[in-house]
Amino acid sequence: MNGGGGGAAPVVRLSGVGLRYGATQALAGIDLDIPAGRMVGLIGPDGVGKSSLMSLVAGARAVQQGRVEVLGGDMAERRHREASCPHIAYMPQGLGKNLYPTLSVEENLQFFGRLFGHDAAERRRRIDDLTRATGLYPFLARPAGKLSGGMKQKLGLCCALIHDPELLILDEPTTGVDPLARSQFWALIARIRRGRPGMSVIVATAYMDEAERFDWLVAMNAGRVLATGTPRELHARTGTDNLEAAFIALLPEEARRGHRAVEVPPLADEADAQIAIEARGLTMRFGDFTAVDQVSFRIRRGEIFGFLGSNGCGKSTTMKMLTGLLPASEGEAWLFGHKVDARDIDTRRRVGYMSQAFSLYSELTVRQNLVLHARLFNVAVADIDARVAEMSARFSLDAVLDSLPDQLPLGVRQRLSLAVAMVHKPELLILDEPTSGVDPVARDNFWRLMIDLARKDHVTIFISTHFMNEAERCDRISLMHAGRVLVSESPAELVRQRGAESLEAAFIAYLEEAGAQGEQAAEPADEAAPPVAEPAPESARRPAAFSPARALSYSQREAMELMRDPVRGTLALLGSLILLLIMGFGITLDVENLDFAVLDRDQSTLSQNYVLNLAGSRYFTERAPIADYADMDRRMRAGELSLALEIPPGFGRDLLRGQPVQIAAWIDGAMPQRAETAQGYVAGMHQTWLADMARIRLGAEAGAGAASIETRYRYNPDVRSLPAIVPAVIPLLLLMIPAMLTALAVVREKELGSILNLYVTPVTRAEFLIGKQLPYVALGMLNFLLMVVLAVVLFGVPVKGDFLSLALATLIYVLFATGFGLFASTFTRSQIAAMFVAILGTMLPAVQFAGLLNPVSSLEGMGRAIGEIHPASHMLTISRGVFTKALALPDLHGAFWAMALAVPVIIGLSIALLRKQER
């Protein structure tokens, strides 16, 4: 389909484009030319392929099938993507999805300015121009996460325009914002286009009234293009006067079969009508933030009551307070005359709740979901089958009863959610944006079901929505802003009171009266276009192979986010120290102060002397004597004794006569290593005591010979565990904590969606990963210094060797550790998975194969190979050598080289595996 444009080359050309997500066909056979220099709208409900098509055009997603040409080149070629990237701006779907919530407005804009190569003076000029034009200048210091929805979208637009793009791509930029912010956003776009007439704009929107103002439209459904043309051409083609009706007319016959306009019978005016919901002064606070402020209203039984407002204005919170899911901070609410109480199950059974997001069990079939919720609401077992049959017939679910919810179209899933909410036949139905993203036909069908429930079954319906044409179908509506209800009245009465042309215009008037304008630009909407920054030199716009400035921009941003996140900051600074304390004192090979007791059947001077020989050492602590075998068995079972000795009758007499004597020793073998050590202690002290007795009493030297062996322990004369364990635990923690933090930092961007900034900006994979890595390298070195201080001061383990050699080794080692975190992040998509891979991938080789407990030389096979090449083995050698053996770099250069070689390998592997596009 050709966009026309007087023969000018299209800004985007799609030929045979297809895209699949697993078994789902997102786009199929798209042939489309999008004209340059115009505002082009993609219209259609969620799931028809609009976002997929835009991500292909922006270069954020890899081309699977067909050809995508943007700005005169093929987006499947990496060289063209890199060359065109500085000329394309992409603002993804979702409020502030390309922003960083802990960074201020200024810091977000500075970050994007650095990514596109602007120097400090140019960034300052562009930021001032853009924020003055959008009204954000007074809020430069405000964190992006604390902006209203409309202001977030304006900031996202400023970030997209910081580099003067030729093509601006906006994916549903006004979804979830109030009508006032929406109208101001489009006025801003119009002013910008007047200042940059050559700029092409592609917009996806779910609001058909917005699409009326676009130059050219692409109607999409089920991954295919239905029609293209100007709004006037589509109206003429379909014989309709609004785009929603035009879109329905363009749908295939099977998709619109049976569709008819929604008619709402008037609500009967009954003087004695029962009040279904009453709220008085409802207030909800989350810390210092007031989400809902003094909300009051009354809703009659059988009334359809609409709740309108932007995302974050308090609609969902109010609904949860009315159902008892959230206790109100102040105020009261009644349902059918009963005060709302989360513990009042009988009242809650009279309420059905359908949440904003699909919240049913995807692993259960439609039938099983209905049965489960019927049981949860205590529907009588004998009535469940009939109730399920009734719901499936009423909501047209008979054909899909044995299907899984994930296999159903969005409109059918919404009908299922409504059926589940109605399965226990509630008298009140609370629906939180139930038709968001649903196509117009399914939305009208959904409304007919709700009207039927309200008028025939007298079910009270409390519904929130963003769509003004839906709000016009309600009996009454409340307009909500910043936690407050501005007004409650019938739609027609609101329009009449304000003297407005439409309900949206009336809503805007109420918002302006409430002071919502205070957040917006000080300039009037019809002011001249904002100043246009001069394009950057072509050398600045051409991506370099590696830009230290872009890498440092990511480092600076990561450091700021880390300092403002108390959880990650605490883990980064104190995690290693806390673990060192636990492991330093908890992991010990010292076997000392073993509790022992004696069953002395001799009671002679020699037997008592024998016992004193053990009790006087630091290895054993004597406890009360053993009375008999039963007493010994009971105390060893209870863990009171680690060693029990039995001295036989006649022990002293036989020893003096030179006759052989035997002493029984029972050792607790629950911990084999400790039991073997205790056995060696007992045997050694036994032999020493016998030798002393022979020398003192018999005047003989036991075992005297021509030579004797005297044992001396070097480096650790007292053979204590701490001088061995602490230097080994420090490398273990320097491997695990930095790897985990680095992996989380990258995967967090995937979860939040800000990874798109890597896909659609000139930053390279190396710049992104190294920029993310550097703050954690610095943190690792800081943790190293703190752990060394702790080792020296608290554990009493001095650094005997060259500290600078140890610090250099640590720097190389931390580079590897953070590199491993980057590697783990390349194939994980959630923070939990990244943490698991980082911990498992560092702890397992470090503990089992690196010589922490057993020498690498004692390992065999694959374990020996891992131990020989893994940097943890070499860092353990260096750490123990510097701490206990007074070694320096010349003594350890082999271990240094082995670690140094591992760093470029792991970082290079991470860069190679990281994707610059979604697949």
The mean pLDDT value for 394-421 works out to 82
In the block, residue with structure tokens 């802990």 = 102
Is pLDDT larger for residue 610 or for residue 347? 610
CA distance 372 to 365: 10
Say what the alpha-carbon torsion angle 508, 509, 513, 519 is, to the nearest 10 degrees. 30
Say what the alpha-carbon torsion angle 470, 475, 481, 484 is, to the nearest 10 degrees. -160
The mean pLDDT value for 151-159 works out to 85
For 221-260, the pLDDT digits (tens) are: 888 999 999 999 999 999 988 888 888 888 888 877 777 7
CA distance 421 to 359: 11
For 136-149, the pLDDT digits (tens) are: 888 899 898 888 77
- The secondary structure element, H or E, covering residue 224 is strand 224-229
Lowest-confidence region among 96-110, 638-652, 665-679: 665-679
What are the structure tokens assigned to 153, written together?
A: 């979208």
What amino acid is encoded at 308 in this protein?
L
Provide the pLDDT confidence category of residue 526 given band limits of 50, 70 and 90.
Answer: very low
Average pLDDT, the chain: 84
The mean pLDDT value for 351-369 works out to 81
Q: What residue segments make up the domains of the chain, in order of their start?
A: 12-253, 303-313+345-516, 548-584+720-913, 594-698
Provide the pLDDT confidence category of residue 197 given band limits of 50, 70 and 90.
Answer: confident
The mean pLDDT value for 837-845 works out to 89
pLDDT of residue 552: 93
CA distance 304 to 460: 6
CA distance 363 to 475: 38
Provide the pLDDT confidence category of residue 780 given band limits of 50, 70 and 90.
Answer: very high
CA distance 24 to 741: 35
Provide the pLDDT confidence category of residue 774 given band limits of 50, 70 and 90.
Answer: very high
Q: What is the topology classification, in CATH, of domain 303-313+345-516?
A: Rossmann fold (3.40.50)
Provide the pLDDT confidence category of residue 829 given band limits of 50, 70 and 90.
Answer: confident
Q: Is the pLDDT of residue 768 over 90?
A: yes
What are the structure tokens assigned to 619, written together?
A: 């290895």
Provide the pLDDT confidence category of residue 523 given band limits of 50, 70 and 90.
Answer: very low
Which of the residue ranges 191-195, 353-357, 610-614, 906-910 has the most confident prediction, judged by mean pLDDT?
906-910
pLDDT of residue 527: 47
DSSP of 474-512: SSEEEEEETTEEEEEE-HHHHHHHHT-SSHHHHHHHHHH
For 29-83, the pLDDT digits (tens) are: 899 999 999 999 998 877 788 888 999 999 999 999 999 999 989 999 989 988 8
Q: Is the pLDDT of residue 4 over 60?
A: no
Contact criterion met (CB below 8 Å) for 4 and 229: no
pLDDT of residue 716: 67
Q: How many Cβ atoms sit within 10 Å of the Cβ of residue 285? A: 14
In total, the chain counts a number of residues equal to 919
Q: What is the CA radius of gyration of the chain?
A: 37
Percentage of the chain exceeding pLDDT 90: 24
What are the structure tokens assigned to 620, written together?
A: 């054993």
pLDDT of residue 311: 66
pLDDT of residue 63: 92
What amino acid is encoded at 679 in this protein?
Q
Contact criterion met (CB below 8 Å) for 400 and 414: no
Question: Half-sphere exposure (CA, 13 Å, Cβ side) for 660?
Answer: 1
Which of the residue ranges 5-9, 290-294, 437-441 has the most confident prediction, judged by mean pLDDT?
290-294
Percentage of the chain exceeding pLDDT 70: 91
Phi, psi for 303 (deg, rounded to 5)? -85, 145
DSSP of 94-161: STTTTS-TTSBHHHHHHHHHHHTT--HHHHHHHHHHHHHHHT-GGGTTSBGGGS-HHHHHHHHHHHHH
CA distance 835 to 841: 10
For 844-876, the pLDDT digits (tens) are: 888 888 887 778 888 888 888 888 898 999 999
pLDDT of residue 688: 80
CA distance 841 to 740: 10
Say what the alpha-carbon torsion angle 456, 458, 462, 464 is, to the nearest 10 degrees. 10
pLDDT of residue 172: 85
For 879-913, the pLDDT digits (tens) are: 989 988 889 999 898 899 999 999 999 999 999 99
CA distance 597 to 665: 10
Provide the pLDDT confidence category of residue 556 given band limits of 50, 70 and 90.
Answer: very high
Homologous superfamily assigned to 594-698: abc type-2 transporter like domain (3.40.1710.10)
pLDDT of residue 356: 64
For 9-24, the pLDDT digits (tens) are: 899 999 999 998 887 7
Q: Give alpha helix (H) positions in 640-721.
A: 651-656, 672-698
Q: Is the pLDDT of residue 519 over 50?
A: no
- The secondary structure element, H or E, covering residue 832 is helix 831-848
Phi, psi for 661 (deg, rounded to 5)? -125, 155
pLDDT of residue 536: 47
SS3 80: helix
Contact criterion met (CB below 8 Å) for 526 and 744: no
DSSP of 496-552: HHHT-SSHHHHHHHHHHHTTGGGGS-SS-TTSPPPPPPPPPPHHHHSPPS--HHHHH
CA distance 186 to 207: 13
pLDDT of residue 273: 74
What are the structure tokens assigned to 192, written together?
A: 């910008």
Q: Among the CATH numbers 3.90.1150.10, 2.30.40.10, 3.60.15.10, 3.40.50.300, which is that of 12-253?
A: 3.40.50.300
Contact criterion met (CB below 8 Å) for 135 and 519: yes
Provide the pLDDT confidence category of residue 355 given band limits of 50, 70 and 90.
Answer: confident
pLDDT of residue 222: 84
SS3 27: strand
Lowest-confidence region among 558-562, 568-572, 747-751, 790-794: 568-572
pLDDT of residue 540: 43
Contact criterion met (CB below 8 Å) for 430 and 351: yes
Please give the model's pTM, rounded to 2 decimal places.
0.78
Cα 256 to Cα 249, 253, 263, 441, 696: the distances in Å are 8, 5, 17, 7, 111
What are the structure tokens assigned to 460, written together?
A: 């009270």
Which of 733, 881, 728 minimizes the C-alpha distance to 805?
881
pLDDT of residue 700: 55
Cα 787 to Cα 153, 810, 815, 858, 892: the distances in Å are 45, 12, 18, 29, 22
- Check for a shared fold between 12-253 and 594-698: no
